Every structure is written in structure tokens, then in C-alpha cells.
Structure 1
């Protein structure tokens, strides 16, 4: 090909480039063209090929140097450029028989594919994600190839490494950093850790060495193969400093040694580093075992607010390094740079990952999207971080593409600055820098917000003597001086306060705290004393807050929460001061702190569909066969919701209705328990039929009686449940591990549901379940066929069972079964009844209940004369008496709604119905406050007036003496 054949096209191409790039493009082209002539290589004449080649030569001196050496590469690469796949390794692997030929082959392979990846990026054939994935795949492949070869050669020399059981041991390479996250830089170190499962020795040769010696040799050779600079350069620079003990540590450790190190010596920065750990050699089982080994160290089971303290320490280290090395304008380390985006995301991962497994993800862009989806950052913040990360990483890569240098700094040479601006899509350097500043400003603002040092002096600084509060905690041994200070700063009962503080501080629990926990407690206590100093009931509040501290102090990450969010301390004092029940729940299950501090809004909590969605999302993050995690999440969800509703109720300025939301949340949970139990049955019994088919052929339902049926649940209600099934096919069976009839399947399904509700876990019992309202009571079948259930109600039921049926509601089951139950209930309750007999039966039932409660010494607002049960019995009596003539009464189950209906129909005087509604609501509020153990201004209201009104109405409606 003659020069004049391409000269015209080349001149036209140059006019498309900025004038600053003309000279470098010409120089690189001339150097390459001379090389083709010297090597007698004939270039293709296709103009599109040449234009693509010229574009590459204009921007990358590195690519030019590779093409000058291998003049056929441009044509070879261009022929496959449109396909985002790597060439077969075997094309580069001919005659590999020792470490030197392996090194040569890997370098050829790497150079070829690096230029190919570079070229695809400059021609905009790859998205950024595809681009870094290609770089990652290249690194993974060369490591895997090298390990296979080196393992083979070492085994031929020393034998194969085995454990004590004779099982061959693999060499496990762990990728961290960008390689671990599948987001590798163009010119980057690769951060690696080497490990192997078990200790042992090699077998098969006369001379045996230990597994540690074998894998140390392999690791040393792998580093040499990848990073040693030869006439053809290197493959990847290998950084092993992230291994245990850093440069002074063993090159290779087995799983047991790694686990021991991270358990006893692991540091916070290592947790950040290990977030991105990814196994790239060995079998799937080896990778799974390594992940399980690391998980307790990286992701704590609780919400780990200590991650932010570690973030600030790392921030200071990075800032010091930036100043020392003059890196203020570095795209990676500078203010608003790549590292700040990474730290921000990783801090949230460490905080949440123990509780929310979806955050255990290596790739940063994936993590950012998950954080936004979970609403820990806003959509606007997510888009800012996402766009900034893409922009910064693309700029970083294109700087590195110019010369294949490991740099993150903006170029100093004018020609390279122009290259960068043009590659990034800008016509001049000024426009590029303006956009760069926009992105870094967004990142810096968000990073500074999340990494800001918490103002634990926020309350102290507002007072006249801030030093007093610190001295109170640190100098408690000086009783007289401490009590004097306590009095001066506002404590009325200073002696009691001092006594409590001294007892708490001198306790074995506090004296035995590890240093980090003790330091965090020293930060919390002064703020606590500030907040309590102006409270009227300071002694009681301090007692409760010390109870809370006792329950969380050994898990100092919870103390870190109080330090990170000083306003939380004030909120806890407020809510625990209002309810001892809330305090008790938090002390028993500190994991609920986050639920309480980040509750759904009232609007969200009162939306059944929204709460269903939240619970679905939580359970989808858990493995389908992880029953323990499922039950824990269900319990945490329930307790968190109940605590949040209690907080809403106690802090609301006006009375709010919580019985319906409590009932809705319970139904949401029961729906999940049903589906989880059904899935368990299918898997456990190896039933081949799909879920939908089983649900259709064997309709199964749960009927809620009592408070849940009437949607009148309180915080301590148990669940009165009855289980039904319905099938007309007497020959129907389910084939699996065993053959199950519909009745057997339904029975075992019901037992499974009860087990999931009743079994105690680390977070307690989900619900106490009472199934004695089923036909035949405790002696009856746990699950009834719907027809047998109906027959029982018609032929054998007692009046009290009809009373219970007034509140009954089928809450789970196919529409056909729900309709059958509803029809059965209406028909049974609509039967005309003899009034005298009905009244006598209800009075006798009430008397028996009194006697039973008296015997158990359980006289409470529900069961005492004139209490809640009296109102409910009155309503149930009137419904049973009049339902035959007024079927509309059976359309509702709520006591207050039935009272409204009875008043409207003049079946009860409207003024009396209204009065009972008010009293019933008062009783329910009072009962909930009793459950929550709310302080009621130093005394417990007797509600004697209200009870007397109910008693009087009872006597009017039931004139027969009790």
C-alpha cells in the first residue's frame, strides 16, 4: 500500500480532530506504517478500518507501541472488534512447557486483549459496565490459566497437596478491590489474597513438603509470572499487602488460620477491603466456604454504626496521604473522588449488611442501586453518585489508556489534557473541567454529610458548665462533690441519681468492658446526663436508660449508634419514659432499635399493601431453605411494627386508631407464614405438583376468631385460629416421599404454621396461638373439613361458640372456601333463638368466666364486672337475638361498628349505643396503656364510673340475677 493511497483520507480524518492532536496522530501513524513496511506486512485498504486505527493512534501511545511490535494485531482485532468476546487462550499458548514460556504467552495474551478492550471503548462499542467487566474477565482468565499450569508443574515436582483425609487441596486466589468488584481499572494493580482449605502435606513423590510450603511456592511463582517485568512488560502488578499482617505476614494461610486472624486480630479497614472479596479459583464449594468464613467478620449480625467511626479514621488516613503526596486533584483520592463514593457505599454496606443480606455485594454500582432502592439515599442522590462514578472512572481509564500508566491524576502535558477532554466528549479542556467540578462537588457534599463527626457535645455546649457533665461520670468516687454538682445543674433528687450512677459504673459489667466499648460509653454518659438534668422524673428515666445501656453495652456498635446520632438518645429517653413495655422489648431485643428509629410513616403503616410489599422484599433476601432466618425476620418485622405503632400512639397529640393496623400487620405476617409453610411442605415431602395446583385441589383456610377476627387486636393479643380444608375428591392423594390424603396434608400444614408462630427463637415467639375454638375444643381435630365444621355448628355447638362466631373471619384461603365459610357463618348465626334460653346461656357463660378468672387471680379490665367482656357479651347477645330478622348485623364483626348498627336499627337505644362505644374505646385505650406500662401521672385510673354504667346496662338487658 503506497503512502499516497491513504494520504488524502488521513488528511480528511485529521480535520475531524482538534488541532492539538494532529502531530501525535501523525507521529504514531508514521511509526506504525514504517513498522509494517519493515516487517513486509500488507495493511488492509478498507477506509473504515483505517479511520478506526487512526483514531486509536491519536489517543493512545500505548496502543501504538503494541501495534508497532505486532503489526498484524490491528487487522486481527478489527475483524472481531464488533464481538465483545476474548479470543481462545490456546491461540497464544503454543509450546508452553515451563514458567518462562508461560510468562511470554500471558504477556502476548494480555497485550492483545488490552488493546482490543481499549479500542472498543474509544469506538463506544461498550458501556462502562461492559468495559470494566471485560478487563475483569481478562484478569480472571490469566490468573486461572497461570494457577492451573503452575499447580500442575509443582505437583509433578513435589506431589499433590492433600489434607489428613486424603482430599486434594486447591489453591484459592481471592480478588479484592476493583478486581473483586468486577470493575477493574485499565492500568491497575490487582489486590490478591492466597489461601487453601486444610493443612496437610504433598503425596506421590519421594520428597514431601507441607501444604503451606507447596502453596507458598505456587504463590511466589504466580506473582513472578504476573508482575515481573520482561522485554514484553508485565501482565498485572500484584499487590499482596491486604493479606493478614500485610507485608510481614505469611504469603499463604489456610482457612482455619484466616478465620482465627479475622476473629481475633482483624481491623476495621480490613472489613472495608473484604467487602469486595471474590474467589476466582477453585470450586464453587470452596468459594462458598470462604464466604461463610468471612461473613461474621465483615457483616455483623446487628446494625453496625461503628462502621462510620472506621470511615472517619480511613478518611483521615487518606487525607493525610493526599497532602503528603500532593494528590488534591487526583480523580481517585481527591475531594469528591472515586474513593469517597466507594467509602460512602461501603459504610452503608457494613452498617446494614448483617441484617440485610442483599447489601453483601462486591460491585459498587450494584450496591448504590440497592441503597437507593432501600431508600437509605434519595433517588436524586443516587443519580448524582452514579453519574459521578461513571464519569470519574471513564476519565480515569482514558488517562491510563494513553500510556498504560497506573495514574489517577489529571494529565500535566497539554496534549494529554486535550486527549482526555476529547475522549470524554468535550470540545475543550475548560468544558471538561466544569463538568468534573460539578460531579466532584456532588460527591464531596454527600460524603461529608455521611462522614461528618457527630456532635456529641450538642447538648453540653448549650449549658453554662459543660465540664461538669464529664466530671460527673469520670469523678463519681467524690460523692459530696458529685452530688453538689448534680444539684447545681438541676437534679432535684441528686442523691438517688448519684447512687444509680455509682452502682452502674462499679458493676462488674461496666468494669469488664473492652477499651473500645468503655470509650464509647464515656462519650454517651455526659450527653445522657445533660438530657436528664431538666426532666421532672429524672431518677425514673435514668433507671430506665441504665437498664437499656446494660443490655447493649457489650455490643458497643449500639453505643456507636448513640454517638453517631445524638438525637436518638433524646428520642429513647422520651419513648422509654412513656412506656416500660417498649423499654423491655428493646432491652430483650436490641436489634429492634433500628426498627424503632427508622419506622415507616403512619400512612405507610396503615397501608396493608405497603406493609405486605415491605415484608415480601425482606423475605426475598433470605434463602428459601433458611427457616431460622425467615422466622427471625418475621419476628423482627412484627416487633418492629408493633413498637413503631406504639410510639406513634404514645407520641401523637390526638388519639389515633391502632387496632386496625395491628390486625392488618398480623394478617400480612400470617399470609407469609402460610406460604412459607406450604413451600416447606412441598419440599419436605417432595411433592411434585406445583403450588397453584395444590392450593386449587386442596383449598386450605385460616379462620380468625376473637380480636383478630374483629380487627380489634392490641399489642399483647394472642391469636384464636381455626383451620379448615375443603375438597370433594375422596380419592385425591398427593404423591411424594409419602402419600398424603387431603386431610393429612392439611393437618401437617396447620401444624407447620403453628410451629412457625409458636416456636421461640432469639427474638421470642411470633404469636401465641389458641386453637381451642375448633369443633370439639382441645379434644377435636386440629383441622376440619368445611362441611364437618358446618355440621358441628348446627348440631353440637354451644351458645358461647355462637358468640365467638360473631367475630369470626376467614383471613386466608381461596375465594371459594372463604365464600363457604361466610355462608356457613351467616346461616348459623341467623337461626332464630329462644330469647330466654339465649340470655340464660350467656349469663351462665359470663359467670363461669368470672369464676375462672377469680380462681386464676386474673381480674383485669377485660374480665372484671362492667369491663370489656361485658360490652362484648351484650353486643353478641343482641346480634344472636336479632340476626334472624336483621341479617345486616352479620356484615361486620367489630364491637364498635356493631354498636353503631344496633343503635341505628333501634335494637339498642341510640344514646346507650353511643355511650357504650365511647366507654369501649376508653377501655381499649386504657388496656393498651396497661400493656405498654405507661406511667399515668402516678396513679392508675379505676374507670369505676364507666364500669358502673356498663353494669347498669347489663342488668337492664339481662334482668335475671347472676
Structure 2
């Protein structure tokens, strides 16, 4: 074979084995230090199995070159002959540059990996103490520590130990290291050692025996005078010993460093004394300690120094930990601490954070610790310090569903393994996912992703973090329901007080009422109660995730009471996966949707499948209403049926909006603007169909056969713009013309009678939400006739029309009645709203004057202009008037501007070069946000309002609808102000021309 062919063949083999630089790999394999024969079979196979074959090979050459001349051959012979050694050594070299550097500095250390005896497979503190026993000075301790770390890493990477065992070994090695460091410090100051009894208490991951490869080791120091010694000098001696211990572990020399010892979890943190007596510790915890300090003490464990004193400390603080739940605001303090940790993450790092970010390790740890603290007071089985052990105990005790616990366990193990592998690479403390392709590739390979390591790693990471986030606040439900189910028998596994505590932890403001609702739903031995006990954990998760869990549970009880005898109801919730969760979200998102549902509970059937939440086509909706109206005996019953259909469809629209906003993984995810357009179009079609039905009923009620007048209903304002919100009136103007051969006077009287009857019918008292028809935009407003003929409109507009009326007509669109008459009305007004040549300067000045007057006079007294969605700075009015001025000036030339829709006109202005794309985006974002806030407020309060609610729970519910996490109402308001401030800047430049 030609030389080039052999080279290409070899490069191909190297690429297939995972090398990314076959040229350099071939050079290293031919290096004298390896001997060419070493490149054959077994060595290449072992390199191919590593996380980073290139790094492993490079480090192997360095290690071989570092061997003394007389020992290199023996090293290579052993490596080739002993597969266990080959696998362990190369696995370490391919996963850790830091440990590779240690091996090169100490070429004989590889022998620590030659063989693991059975007793060495899972060493504990005693074995590690023996391994460090010969270390007589700090550098000797550093070398011995890294040798032990090497063996832990080798067992970990090759799968001999799992992540929990590895973390425990790392903590045991830390314990042995602290003891060795204290021994060295005591040897350097024997008088200090004789003067005091010093105990070192491991905290955090060290205390919990779940340490990382590279981490601060958290400790607390407690001391007492030795027999016959005075307290003051004894504490000074103990402080010197503790400080020396910290320096031994933390200092960096040519042998590297071990890890920083962090004593900041001590009473008063950095501001407190490094060492205290036991009495001083207890006095602080009883009087001054904050909730998070008791949470930290969950993992307190004596690790070094005086064993009796350490045990005494542990026994004294343990009761304080389990009494902490009795503190006022305990649960909210723990939750607030988690949110504070999360909010402290730099924005640029949030998505890469394995530890502190959403769905990260802290989510698991905080949830588990909160449950331990709440229930560990009465259940000693929950008092373990390891996260995974505690999670297992919570599952065994019924405090966490077994499936949820298994999911969290798997995700925690995955995330900890990723964290370990990242830290091993350079022996540096980090919790951030790498961004470089090569680093992600080696990380993925180290976790066993062999096909497409980067893609598979990223997908697994996202899946686990999403799962953790979803379960983070869902760790309370099953035992609560188990307890409620036993209320009748009086055999509570969980007492009522504990059940109430758990409900408070879920966010219920009235736990006693919530417990009554749960008892009514889930108690007893009936099939209905059994199904409810299956459903309620899912529902409670959604209630807890809302801003008002109490209302959600109360509304669910009302719906269940109304439909409890319907066999399909509970079957739907049990068998249709999304139905129960959709229902819970709808019932806890505010007042509007539950009010609509409770008026006709059978509408819950819409929540079963995705198509049930899709808006009905306008034609189908109109056909249903017209058919129902045609079957009715009276006009009143006809409109009652039409309003009933409207109520059902209003619920469908609101439910789809809520589900999409609160659970985009359940509903098809839409951008905010798309979701808003969908709601506006659905509400417009719904109101138009209802008006058509009412018009048909009113026409029939007047009794003319055929009527002497044709009537058309023209939508105006947000109705005409297909931009209705849940609380919008239906702005309309009415136009008529005589039927063929009819008298004009009789036609006008008939048209007026039909219009008044239509409005009367829609305003009849009813349990259904009203459709308020507003006709104030007609010529002459309240002083003008309710209905005009087309000829009258033409005469008025020709003689009396003002510029504001032309602006209002921009949104005019026929929605009901005679279609031909509606078309001719549109043709009549087009020259007014799309004037030839645009507007003259007087008209432009008049529009600006009207806008300025509106800003000055119509904003309600006391309203915050930065938070008023309609008339406030950068709100709906600002954006709409700016867009409408562009339409009045340019729509005659630009056909695409002839639209009633605000967002459509914005896009057309950009397309025509009349508006900069960036300015349009700013205006669009503000308009969409203000519109969504109005919708959110209506959904939450069931009453329209143009400002954010003052009530804290209502504001929190608005924030949840807008996609904000709990506790971030302030951020929502800041974001709104920032968005609308930017929009106002654009408005002042475009509308007012600076």
C-alpha cells in the first residue's frame, strides 16, 4: 500500500476511536517514550474508551517521559499487561488534567492504581487516615491527599463506585485530611494543644458526606478549656490551632492546594469569633440565629478533634434544629432564601448553572431540607444529613410520592455526576456547564454518551433540570391526602396540626378551610373518594404553583360538588392526562374563568383534549347561534341561548389562554403576541356571532315580515380591530337603508326599533356575562340618533366630520346584519380614513392637541402614569395614536396600511419603509404587554381595570399569568415600566416629532 494510503488508514482508525487530532495522536503514539509497539490494540482500545483520547494520550506520553530511565520499561510493560491498571490510569488521564499534572510531578504515584483489594473498593475515614498517616508537614499532606484523590477518581470514572459513594468517599477523605491537618497544627504548637479541647464540626456537603471533588469545606469550631485551664487563654489557643488548620488546607504551594476551609457558617459569620464555647454557641442559636442557620445545622457532624466535645455539640444543637419549624414565617423564610440564591446568579450564567440555577442541585436540596425540617420534628427517620438518604426516607415515609422521589434521585445523581466531571477536568471549583464544543464533547463521553455526545448531553441536562424544576414544589401532596383520607377514622398518621403546616408550606392562607375541603373531597371509602385521592396530588401541585391556592381548591370543590354525580366527570379527570392539571390551573388563576365554569360546570369537558381548547371557527360559531335562535319560542329565550353559547366560548378562550400562559408544555407554546392575537380574534368572532343572533331575534320580535329596513352593525374601536380584551365593551355604530319599495320614514322607525330591541335583549338580567353594546362613537355621540341611514351618514361626513372621527373610522369593520350594506358603508368612509394626499398640518396639529388633552384630563386622579395600561406612558393609547397617525397620513398610498389591526398596521409601516423595524418592535412589545396586563387583570379580578391590582395576591396572579416566578411582582412592575418608557421615547419622536 502506498505510504499516503497507510497514513490515511491510520488516521481513519484514530478518528473512529474518538481522537479529534489524528496527526498529533499519530506523532505521540510514535514517540520514543511509548515505544511503537505500545500503539497496538489494547492501548488504543483503552484510549478510545476515555472521555478525551487526545488528552489521555498526551498525558500518558508526559507520564512515561517523567519515569526514571530505568523504570520506564517496567511502567509500560505493566500498563500493557494489566488491563485494570490500563483502564483506571487512562480513564483518569482522559478526564482530569489536574490529576495528570500530579502524576507527572510524582511519577511513581501511578502504582496506587495497580490493584484495588476488596477492602479498598469503598474506603472510609479510617482507611484514608491510614493513607495520610505519614504526612508530617503540609506539603506531605498535599501529596498524600492527591494520591488518595487519584484512587477515588479512578474508581468513580471506571464505574466501580456510583456518585453517592464517590461523594461519601470525598467527604471521608476531607474528614481524614482535617484530622491530619489538626495533628500537624497541634505538633507545631503543643502548648496550645494542651490548653484546650477543640472539636471541628463538618457542615454542608462535608457534614452530609456528599462532598464535591473541589469545594470549600464548611466547618464550625467549638472549644472548651482543658482541665485546669482558664477559658480566655484556652479559646485563644484553640483559635490559633483552628487558624493553622485552615492555612494548612487552604495554602497553595508547588504541590498545589487541598481546598479552602470555610468557617463562615459559624454564629455571626465573618464578624463572629472563629472559635466559641458550646455555651456560647447555644446562647446564640437560642436568641439570635436566623432560619437558614438551622437549615445549615441539618448537616452538622463532628469530624475532627475532641470526639466527646463534638458529640456533646451535636446532641445539644439537634433539638434546636427540629424546633425551628415553630418559628414565625419559617417556611416562607426557607423559600425566600432559595429565591434569593437564585436571583443572585449573574444573568449571563443563569442558564449554565448546575448548582444554583432553576432545576439545579439547590432545587432538590432546598426542597428536601424543607420537608425534613417540617416533618423531622415528629419523624426521626427523616433526620439523615445526606440529600439522597433523606429523599429515600421521605419516600419511604410517604412524604414524597415514590415516582417523584425516583425522578428526583435520578436527576440529582445525574447533575452531581456532571458537576464532578467538570471539576475533575482541572481540579477547579465550578458549577457552570462549559460552552466550548470540545469540553462538552469530553464531558458527554465521560458520562457514557457515545453517539453524539454534545447533543445527547445537552438533551439529558435539559430534561433533568426541567424535571427537577417541575417537582421542586411538589413534594408535599400524597401524605397530606393520606391523612385527610383517615380523618373519619380518627387514625391520623399525620396530625391535623402537621397537615395544616404542610398546607401553609404549599402557600394556603387558610389551612383550616383547605383541610375541610380536602376532607370533603377525599374522605371515605367510596369510589368517588378513592378517585379524588388519586387526582388531588396532581391538582395540589398546580394549586401550589398559583398565586391563590385557596381559591383553586375551593373552586375545585364547588365544581366537584356540582358534577359529583356525573360519571363522566371524575373519569375525564382520571383518564385524560391533561384534563386534571388544566382544570386546576384554570380554577386557581383568578375569578373570571371559575365564575364562567361554575355557571355551567359541564364545560369542564372542554379541558380534556387539546382540540377542546382550540377556538371554534367563526362560521361554525355563527351557524350554531343562528340555529339556536331560530329554534327559540321568544326573543328573550333566543338571546338567552346565544348568551349561553357566548359564555361557553368565553370560558373556552379564557381556559386556553390560562393553560397556555401557565403551562406552555401542556398547551402549544405561542409567543405573547401570537397568544394575544388569538384571544382577540376569538373574542371578536364570539361577540360578532352573539350580535348577529341578537339582531336576528330582535328583527323577528318587531314583527315586520319582511322588515322595511336593512340594518348593518359596524364594529368600532378594539372590536373592529379584532383586539378585544376580556373586559371590552362592543363599540358599534348602526346603519340602515330602506328595503326595496319601503317608505324611508317607516324604515327609519323600524331600524330604530330593531336596534333598541337588540340592545335591550343583550342587557336583560342573566347569570351569563353581559355583552355591553356601546354606540357613543356614532355621529353626534349620545345626542345623535342611534341608527342613521347610509344617506344620512354620507351627508354628515360630507359636512360635519371632524378629524377625530376619521381616526375612529380607521377601525370600522362590518360584523353583523346586511353584508352588502356594510360593504357600502365601508366604501363611504374609506376616503375619510384614508384621505387622498394624507393629512394637512392643521389636522396633524389637531390630532396631537387632542392626544395631549386626553393625557392631561382623562387619566384618573391618583393613577400612576407609569402603570396605567391605557392612558399611561407608553401604553395602549400612545402606541395606537402613533400608528393611526401613520395610517391617516399614508394609507391612501400604502394599501397594506388599510387594516383595522394595530399590529398589522405596524408591520405594514415597516414594510413600506415608514417606520424603523427597531422602533416598531419597541412599540409592538409595549402594546402587547399592556394588552396582556389588561387581560390578566380581568382574568384575575373578573372586573376590568386599566392598572395593576393593589391587592398582593391579585398582583402575584397577574405576574404568574405573564410568566414571572413567585415572589417577583416587583420585577414585573420594573419590566413594565422599562418597556413602556422605551415606547414613550419612540412615541415622542414619531407622534410629536420630538
Relative to the length of structure 1, the TM-score reads 0.45
Relative to the length of structure 2, the TM-score reads 0.44
